[in-house]
Structure 1
Amino acid sequence: MESLVVRGFAGIKDANINIGQFTVFIGHQASGKSVCAKLIYYFRQIISGLALEAASGSTKTDIRKKHKANFIKYFPNTSWGTEQFSITYTLYAVKFTVKSKHNKAGISIDISYSETYDKILESLRKEMRKYEDINDGGYVRIVNVNGEDRYIDISPTSLMLEIGRKNISDSYVNTNYFVPAGRSFFSTLQSNVFSFISTSIDMDPFLIEFGRLYERMRNSYSNRRMGSYRNTAQDLQVFKKIVKGEYARISGQDYISSSGNRSIPIGSTSSGQQEVLPLLILLTSIKQGLQNRGANVFIEEPEAHLFPDTQKELIDYIFSSMEKNAGICLITTHSPYILSEINNMMYRGYLIKRIKLKSALSKLSDGSRIDPSKVEAYHFKDGNVSRIIDDSTGLIDASDIDKISNVISQEFDELMSIEAESLNV
């Protein structure tokens, strides 16, 4: 349904990844987790941008030039390596392949597109041409239908949704959100400072995109009223539990209110609070909009600077927020705690399907759960990517990760042996 295949790109020797509703990448730093997450985001952006490309009137050549430029922006050619590489991404009937081309001038890329992509683009253009003479701000007015005026939404997004459904899936129009690591940077920026500095400083494009998004979403979060969407009270309770206080935005300044009626400027809070605040604001805002359209959410290192029990609370909230989402949620992590809690949720979901005893079900219903079939997990190591879902159980096989703990335990045992031998001398 959705997959990514990478050969020889940016330190990744071989990766065959099937993407589930929830996908987890775990591994050492600089192992390729972020590269693969960003590649999936890049291709999803191409698909989601189809409607606007059609509306812009850009030629097919111009669109392809833009896609190449964005690839180089997201993945600078200095990171490609010197070997030939190929990247293939598939979402239903849409397929893209990026291949390197080597010549005397250096390395360049070629992007090929499946026939379905071109068909959707042309279908969108045809639909838009039908209404171009009667378009009123993205709507067509039909007079006197059953005694009243009616409007048909013919905005690019609406047309894309309809045509996407005809081509297998409405997930073609999902909004994409990439939440990079280093989020504390955004927490400490006030007002519209980020919009200013991002235009004058050469920065990572993923940081720029998230910074602009975060500015919009924290303003909308602070203006949101209690009960404006379902489960707001529950969201605020979880928010308070994870952040260890209540968030307030006053006169363009961010504060965390904690015990003793203390209001602490966000720049003076802990690194964990600064890291998790932008993520939670984004998640609550996305959750509000899921009733209208799906979202594809990419989160780097949700565990950053958080104690293990808070990591558990956060991953539970991420999964519960995105469970009914029509899009995907992809997480990169170094944390075995994150992986273990996801496995617990999968196991609980597995047991709820199988166990019929009411007393046992009541115990299981207290914790977070997820259908194991919705989850994919991959381990990144030494340029290779391996799937760590055990097909016999449907759960995560964390034996590779456990080896790390075993090495640490073994070292401790050896130290104890040295102590015992020394004392017996």
Structure 2
Amino acid sequence: MNMELKISNFGPIKDANINLGNLTFLIGPQASGKSLSLELLKLIIDKQHIVSTLRNYNYILHKTDAKNILECYFGEGLSGLFKKNTKVSWSGTPFSPQDLLKIVSRKKITDNPKESVFYVPAQRILSIADGRPKNFMEYDISNPYVLRRFSETLRVFMQGGLGNPDTIFPMRNRMKQAVRNSIKDTIFHDGKVVIDKTGEQRKMKIEIDDMKIPFMAWSAGQREFMPLLLAIYCLSGPPTPVINKSDYQWVIIEEPEMGLHPKAIQSILLGIIELVQNGYNVVISTHSTTFLEFVWAFNSLQSLTEEKFKEAMCEMFDIHINTTTANLFDNFKEKTIKTFYSAKKTAADGFTFADISTLDAFSDDTDVSEWGGLSSFAGKSSDIVSRYGE
């Protein structure tokens, strides 16, 4: 299956040919087009569902001008991302705002269009800023659609998909024990996330040492992680009446490492591997070297036998080879992992996306050898120490 997103002259992106794998990482400096490329991918794949959702919330969608549709999706003032010379295609099929107008012009959209992309945005903390998920209409169009949709999904899931539990972490049936234990040890430190029902609204609190700590008093990393945990719950564990996890083919997560220690990022990585093994194509935008260190190790070990590869992966994540969690790595070496770097060549040109999937430290291409700049400072500091240190 061709899974290539091609972009030319879209917003700050000059040129991008992103051939996605089972697991794909996008790296690059801030405001280099990573989030815009991922939001564009969702718009292309889920365009019917997005138009249907906006209609259901009574947004006025023009049939002859796509400007307001684009601003309802990307955010107020961002319709200009599409220029006269913009060209976009997905899996070889061209896409333009005219495709959205064709959907809007139909008297009736396809009955119950499915959503195929589960999108976890970088601004996810806003979805539960006071300890409970907000509904779609609590946001205005200055917030991107992906945030509004994500928040609404969590709200519906917590109301009808979790079975009205008192404790939402740990939950035994939502992820493998080793993943759950790793999150407990590195993020919540034996605390339980509970639903407090004493006020007017059900809100999340951490229960530890006979205290119930309100959401805004949590650590920054705990607050950033909680909506991501709920997203993983939506996509794993037993079926629920409100979220059909089998509809989703793609999972996009922006900056899953925000606020987290490297050991906690390893816990997140285990959860991501579980999503891949459950059949989702996962795309991650990140600034963390932890993920690329894993990709480098994966590339280096992929030539091993299945048994040795599995043994090496288990050792990397401190998982005993004889436990059921070790099954996370069954046939994992057959997966395709890709890495792309968004780099600005000149101010006039804009950003281009380069395939640096080999992460070869001996490559003549510094984008590849320095992992898109993520390892350049470590290399520079080592060089200086070797020359100056005695």
Matched, 1:376 2:326: no
Aligned length: 341
How do 1:4-403 residues align onto structure 2 when only pairs under 5 Å count? 4-46=5-47, 69-75=68-74, 78=78, 80=80, 84-91=84-91, 95-98=93-96, 110-111=98-99, 156=111, 173=114, 175-191=116-132, 197-198=138-139, 202-219=142-159, 220-221=161-162, 223=164, 229=173, 231=175, 236-244=180-188, 245-251=191-197, 252-258=202-208, 260-288=209-237, 289=239, 292-325=246-279, 327-345=280-298, 347-348=300-301, 350-353=303-306, 362-366=311-315, 367=317, 369=329, 370-371=332-333, 373-382=335-344, 383-390=351-358, 398-401=368-371
> What's the CA shift for 1:16?
0.7
Alpha-carbon contact 1:178-1:206 (below 8 Å) kept = yes
Q: Corresponding residue for 1:143? A: none
Are the aligned partners of 2:28 and 2:343 in contact in 1 as well (CA < 8 Å)? yes
- Aligned identity (percent) is 19
Q: Would the alpha carbon gap of residues 66 and 340 (structure 1) be closer, same or farther in structure 2, given more than 3 Å must change?
A: farther
Return the TM-score normalized by structure 1.
0.66
With normalisation by structure 2, the TM-score equals: 0.71
SS at match of 1:351: coil
CA gap 1:269/1:350 in 2 versus in 1, 3 angstroms: farther
Q: 1:390 to 1:264 in 2, by over 3 A?
A: same
- After superposition, the CA RMSD in angstroms is 4.1
Q: Counterpart of 1:257 in 2: which secondary structure?
A: strand
Give the CA deviation at 1:218.
3.4
CA contact (8 A) 1:14 1:385 kept: yes
Query: How far apart are 1:229 and its partner, in Å?
Result: 4.8
SS of residue matched to 2:38: helix
Q: 1:340 to 1:48 in 2, by over 3 A?
A: farther
Q: 1:14 to 1:301 in 2, by over 3 A?
A: same
Name the structure 2 match of 1:142. Answer: none
The SS at the match of 2:370 is: helix
Q: Which residue in 1 is equivalent to 2:321?
A: none
Alignment partners' CA distance in 2, 1:84 and 1:38: 20
Task: Return 5+ residue gaps in structure 1 as ranges.
Answer: 57-61, 99-108, 129-155, 161-172, 421-425
Q: Check conservation: 2:16, 2:354, Cα contact below 8 A.
A: yes
207-216 or 295-304, which deviates more:
207-216
Q: Is the 8 A contact 1:45 1:176 kept in 2?
A: yes
Q: Distance in 2 between matches of 1:414 and 1:27?
A: 25
CA distance in structure 1 between the partners assigned to 2:312 and 2:386 by the alignment:
40
Structure with more helix by fraction: 1
Q: Structure 2: any 5+ residue segments left out of the alignment? A: 318-327, 345-350, 361-366
Partner of 2:323: none
Bigger radius of gyration? 1
CA gap of 1:348–1:230, structure 2 versus 1, over 3 A, is: farther
CA distance in structure 2 between the aligned counterparts of 1:418 and 1:390, rounded to whole angstroms: 32
Are the counterparts in 2 of residues 303 and 338 from structure 1 also a CA contact under 8 Å? Answer: no
